[in-house]
A and B are shown apart, each in its own frame.
Chain A
Amino acid sequence: MSLLSARASLLAGMGEIKVARKEGVLGCIGLGSCVGTLLYDPQTHTAGLAHVMLPEPHDNDWSLMPGKYATTAVPTLLREIGVNTSQASRLRALLIGGGELFQNRSQTLKIGERNVETLQQLMRDYRITLIFEDVRGSSGRSFEFDLSTGVVRVRKVGQPPTEHALAYALGLMRPAV
C-alpha cells in the first residue's frame, strides 16, 4: 500500500474520457452545464469517466471525441471499460454537473438540463444503476472519485466540499461473513 495519499488525479477535460482500474482517482474540474459521467464495473473494479458537454452530436464529427456527447460517450465508456451491452446492467453510474450557471436567460438552450435528462435516459436504456447524482441547480462543480475507497468528493464555490461514501453501493465492500 502506497503511503502517498495525494496521488495525482486523472482529470477528464472537456470531451475527454479517462479510465482507471482497481485504484486511482478520476475527476473533473469546473463542470458547468457539462456532466461528469462515471461508470463503474464491480466485477473488474474498472471505472471510466467522460466529461460530457452536449446531449448529442449534430453531425458525424463525434468520432474524434466521442466523450463530448452523451449519446456517444456512454457506448464508448462501455467499450473502454471492456463491458458489452448485455453486461451493462452490472454497472453502477455517477452523474455530476449539469448546472445552469447563467440565471434569468431570456432564451436558454437549457443544455445542463438536457445533458442530465439524456444521460438519465441512457442509464435506463442500458439498465445501468444510477447510485449517485449531484446535478442541476445553478452551481459549477468539481469532483474526484477515489476508486480504491469508493469515496466521491464534490466541490462548489463558496461551500465546503461534500464527501459521499459509495463503497457499498459500488459493491466494493464484501458483506461481513
Chain B
Amino acid sequence: MMTTEMSALRADALREIGNIGLGGAVTALSDLTGVLFQLEVPRVHEMDTTHLPNLCDSPECLVVGTISRVEGDWPGEAAFLFPWESAEVLWEMLVQMKPAGLEEVNELYQSVINEVSNIMLGNYLIAISQMTGFKLDMEPPAFAADMAMAVVSSIMTEALYGQRELIAIETRFQVPERSFQGFFFYLPETGSLDRLFSALGI
C-alpha cells in the first residue's frame, strides 16, 4: 500500500542520513555522560497502524519521551523514546538520582530528558545541514511519560496529520552493560522527501 516509491537507493540514503546524523548526536550524549553509546543501523520503514515499534514488553509499559517539530527545508517530527528503566539510567547518569515512580517525575527530571533530546536532535540536524545545505530549525522538545502505545500513537497522529502515509527513520542506541536503550524517530513530511533526495543528488 506504499504510494511513495521508495527505491533501495533512496532507502539506503535515508539510512545513511540517519547514521551520520545520529552518530554526531550519540557522540554529544557520550560527551555529556562519559558513557559510550552504541548505535544500530537505522531502519527506514513505512510506519502504519499495525506495525508499531517494539519499545518494551507490552503496549502498556511505561515509556518516557519527547517530540519536537522540525521546520525548514526538511520538515517533520522528531521523537526520542526511552523505556522507563532506560530513562532511570539517564537520570542516574546526569543528576545522580531517579524518581521512584511516574508521580515523582518533576520538572527537574523532565528537563533532563528534554535536554538530552535537545542536544541529540541539535547535533542530528547540524549533521544533516552539513550534508545537504538545508536550513533546519527545531522547536524545544515537549515531554511525555505514559503507556508506550499511547505515546507512540500520539506521535504518529501528529506526524500523520495532513498526509497519507508515514515514513519513519528509526534508530536504536544502547549501552548493553547498563541495559540502556533509546529510540530516535524522524518522521519527515513525505512531500519533503524529494527535496532531500535531490539535495543528495539521487
Say whether B157 contacts A140, CB under 8 Å. no
Q: Which of B37-75 contact A (CB under 8 A)?
A: 49-50, 59-60, 62, 66-67, 69
Say whether A15 contacts B49, CB under 8 Å. yes
Say whether B157 contacts A31, CB under 8 Å. no
Q: Does B101 contact A (CB under 8 A)?
A: yes
| Residues of A close to B164: CB separation below 8 A | 58-59, 61
| Residues of B close to A103: CB separation below 8 A | 142-144
Chain B, Cβ-Cβ closest to A111: B157
Q: Does A45 contact B (CB under 8 A)?
A: no
Q: From known contacts A32-B153, A33-B153, A158-B103, infer whether A111 and B161 are also in contact, taking CB-CB under 8 Å.
A: yes
Q: Which of A29, A61, A102 contacts B59 (CB 8 A)?
A: A29
Say whether A102 contacts B60, CB under 8 Å. no
- Minimum C-beta distance from A159 to chain B (A): 9
Distance in angstroms between the alpha carbons of A18 and B146 in the assembled complex: 25
Distance in angstroms between the alpha carbons of A54 and B151 in the assembled complex: 15
Q: Does A141 contact B (CB under 8 A)?
A: yes
| Residues of A close to B20: CB separation below 8 A | none
Q: Does A14 contact B (CB under 8 A)?
A: yes
Q: Which of B49, B69, B103 contacts A13 (CB 8 A)?
A: B49
Distance in angstroms between the alpha carbons of A30 and B157 in the assembled complex: 13
| Residues of A close to B200: CB separation below 8 A | none
Interface of A is mostly: loop
| Residues of A close to B143: CB separation below 8 A | 102-104
Interface of B is mostly: mixed
Q: How large is the interface on B (under 10, 10 to 19, 20 to 34, 35 or more residues)?
A: 35 or more
Q: Which of B50, B67, B147 contacts A140 (CB 8 A)?
A: B147
Q: Does A162 contact B (CB under 8 A)?
A: no
Q: Does A106 contact B (CB under 8 A)?
A: yes
Say whether A101 contacts B151, CB under 8 Å. yes
Say whether A30 contacts B142, CB under 8 Å. no
Distance in angstroms between the alpha carbons of A53 and B156 in the assembled complex: 9
- Minimum C-beta distance from B153 to chain A (A): 5
Say whether B153 contacts A34, CB under 8 Å. yes
Q: Which of A34, A58, A107, A112 contacts B139 (CB 8 A)?
A: A107
Q: From known contacts A30-B60, A157-B102, infer whether A107 and B69 are also in contact, taking CB-CB under 8 Å.
A: yes
Distance in angstroms between the alpha carbons of A13 and B66 in the assembled complex: 23
Q: Which of B130-181 contact A (CB under 8 A)?
A: 139-140, 142-154, 156-158, 160-164
Chain B, Cβ-Cβ closest to A34: B153
| Residues of B close to A66: CB separation below 8 A | none
Chain B, Cβ-Cβ closest to A29: B59
- Minimum C-beta distance from B158 to chain A (A): 6
Distance in angstroms between the alpha carbons of A31 and B139 in the assembled complex: 25
Q: Does A46 contact B (CB under 8 A)?
A: no
Distance in angstroms between the alpha carbons of A13 and B149 in the assembled complex: 10
Say whether A34 contacts B157, CB under 8 Å. yes
Jot down 13 A-B pairs with beta carbons below 8 A, ordered by A. A32-B150, A32-B157, A34-B153, A54-B161, A59-B164, A65-B49, A99-B150, A101-B146, A101-B150, A106-B69, A140-B146, A140-B154, A155-B60
B contact set with A: CB distance below 8 Å: 1, 49-50, 59-60, 62, 66-67, 69, 101-103, 139-140, 142-154, 156-158, 160-164
